[in-house]
Amino acid sequence: YLKISKLALAFAIIHSKPPGKSSKEYIEYLAKTVSKQDFGWKWKVEVLEAEVLRLRQELLLNRISPRFCLENRKQNTSAETLLGRESINPTSYSSQLEDSGCDVCNDSAFESLGIASDFHRTEHNVNTSKHWLERVPPLNLCHTSKEESLTAPVQFLQRLLEIRKLSEGGILQADFSELENDSFTICNSVSQLLDGLAIFYNSPKFPAPGFLTEGVCVLISLITDTKLSNHVLKKCFKKMEEFKKNLIQIILRNRSVNRFQALHSVSQTLGLLGRNNILRNSLISLLLSEVHQFAEQLLQAHQVQSVYDINQYENIFLLCMILEQLLQNETQESNISSSDCGGEEKLKFLKNLDQIILHLSDEFPLFSLYLWRVSVLLNSGQMQ
């Protein structure tokens, strides 16, 4: 029956084709018309889904703190946020991306953007730092471009952080247990933020757009907030893991000529994510796995005198730098050995590492040195 129906449709199309057009041209025309109609329906569905999410976000904020939403309606403008810019310095961030980025192999490169150092400094000086007041635009999810779509989850999460700051200062009463009752809204918002950041890291623009820096700022503030981070990570841990894996692959697979400034900004985000205790161990495991896998591939290529991927060799140093920094932070902040970091991946990394370093040290001295430095940090507990 299906074959007969298809054959009948084909004959109908052939008999109804307009004069001057071949059957092939007419079929292509009909296919384009149908695809345009499908695209229109998909666009309408996306707009409606965005509107539903916007309403759910406003409802969730109203449940957490009705007074906050009421005051916003009376003012007819968005409330002042105490979130500020202290976690990331947008000026230094964008200005660095305008540079060629050729000095990123420096040992101090992890701090060169000023992001990590500024963030670490303000963690301990929140009471003395000057809060920047910023107007948050009204929630709006119905955007037409990918650039604008990133601002939608940022606006919602900014307001959530704003309520958190105001409630901490005793200005507002807030019930964050409502986040447990509406996991869809928080998960969807965080997922949109992570997907938006990944899109721009895959195709970076220079200088970095302000909303990209703002998105990173909101993400880091979320995972470092003492009350909100538990809610967010509990519901979005898998998405966070996917995001970290995606950033690592962006670093490894990039082959553009002047790629270092873009990859360095990605490495900064990974480093900042690693400041969260929950995310740090899993990130260390991922980095150990990638570095160890590349070391084995490089050793195999060296032994049989085959060609190796020079681009990946250059990119691997960024992962080594992040890994070393995270292991150093783990030891310094906890004041204990980092021997438990990485778990099973640590054992795989250290297995036969001395032999790998021995065989690669003559041909690849810098990479061998990084492997040795990481192994020292992993074994620091045994050396104390």
Q: What is the pLDDT of residues 314-355, one digit of tens each?
A: 999 999 999 999 998 877 765 544 445 667 888 888 888 999
Q: What does the pLDDT look like over 154-167, one tens digit per residue?
A: 999 999 999 888 88
User: What percentage of the chain has pLDDT greater than the value 90?
Assistant: 24
Listed residues 210, 241, 275: the one ending a domain: 275
Which domain-ending residue is among 232, 247, 275?
275
Establish whether the linkage from the previous residue to 19 is cis, with ω within 30° of 0. no
Min mean pLDDT across 273-282, 283-292, 365-374 is at 273-282
Note whether 202 and 315 are same-domain residues: no
267 shares a domain with 155: yes
Q: Judge whether 182 lies within some domain.
A: yes
Two structure tokens written together for 226: 């003492």
Same domain as 271, residue 154: yes
What is the Cα–Cα distance from 94 to 99, expressed in whole angstroms?
Answer: 9
In this structure, the answer to whether residues 296 and 249 fall within a common structural domain is no
pLDDT at 383: 39
Query: Is residue 68, in this structure, part of any structural domain at all?
Result: no
- Residue 216 falls within a domain, yes or no? yes
**Same domain, yes or no: 160 and 256:** yes
Note whether 255 and 155 are same-domain residues: yes
Q: Among 241, 275, 309, give the residue marking a domain's end.
A: 275
Q: What confidence tens digit (pLDDT) does each residue in 49-82 have?
A: 888 988 998 998 888 888 776 666 555 444 344 4
Q: For tokens 């929950």, name the residue.
A: 278
| Contact call for residues 68 and 75 (beta carbons, < 8 A) | no
Tell me: do 340 and 226 sit in the same domain. no
pTM of this prediction?
Answer: 0.70
Q: Are strands 134-135 and 80-81 parallel, antiparallel or unpaired?
A: antiparallel
**Which residues have a Cβ under 8 Å from the Cβ of 231 and sit 6 or more positions away?**
176, 179, 180, 186
Q: Give residue-wise pLDDT tens across range 258-275.
A: 788 888 889 989 999 998
Tell me which H or E stretch contains 161.
helix 146-168
Asked if residue 64 belongs to a domain, the reply is no
* Structural domain total, the chain: 2
* Residue 30 resides in a domain: no
> What residue ranges in the chain does DSSP mark as E strands?
80-81, 134-135
Examine residue 49 and state whether it is found in any structural domain, yes or no: no
Q: Are residues 234 and 289 in the same domain?
A: no
Residues 237, 335, single domain; the answer is: no
Residue with tokens 């009376």: 74
Mapped onto helix, strand or coil, the DSSP state of residue 4 is: helix
pLDDT digits (tens, 9 = 90+) for 158-212: 999 998 888 888 888 888 888 888 888 889 999 999 998 988 888 877 667 777 8
Element (H, E) at 257: none
220 lies in the same domain as 336: no
CB atoms within 10 A of CB 112: 18
DSSP conformation letters of 303-338 = HTT----HHHHHHHHHHHHHHHHHHHHHHHHH-S--
Pair 262, 165 in one domain: yes
Domain membership flag for residue 91: no
Q: Is residue 150 a contact partner of residue 196, using CB atoms and an 8 Å limit?
A: yes
Let me know if residue 322 belongs to a domain.
yes
261 and 316 assigned to the same domain: no
Range of the domain at 166: 150-275
The predicted-structure confidence for 86-126, as pLDDT tens digits, reads as follows: 444 444 444 444 444 444 444 443 343 344 444 444 444 33
Residue 100 has what pLDDT?
44
Kindly give, in sequence order, each residue whose CB lies less than 8 Å from that of residue 12, ignoring residues fewer than 6 positions away: none
Res 145: pLDDT: 56
